[in-house]
Amino acid sequence: MTTAVTFRGRTDVDRPTAFRNERLFTAGCGNVRMSDDSGITGHTRSVVVTTICCLAGIAAGVVSALYVGTDPADAGSTMAVLVMGVFVIVQYPLYELIGVKDLGIKDNLYVMFMTFTLWFISYTILLTSAVTL
């Protein structure tokens, strides 16, 4: 049984698929329950993925500062970007372990973008404040 949501006099079922709201991390299920194996709901899955991305990005920034350094000469090193890439790759087995499966292309881009953004912010703060770690 489908539940119809009324929008400007029309139900959600009547509207074309292109105009329906696309939810992040739905993996094409359309249900509230995202993963039948683990029992993770859509909201919980989104919170878990976002939290892990943000924490991995911050950790990548700190590890980049520890490994590469925070001197002005170290700012141009590509090793810091490789550290961030390792933190992106390490997240995927962690998602499988937690029970978040079937990440689509949009989910993968989100994971990469959020990890990169928080890595960039945290590493930039550490570089500009000349912190010695």
Q: How confident is the model at residue 31 (pLDDT cuts 50, 70, 90)?
A: very low
pLDDT digits (tens, 9 = 90+) for 51-69: 999 999 999 999 999 999 8
Provide mean pLDDT across the span 108-119: 95
Cα dihedral 132, 79, 51, 109 in deg (nearest 10):
150
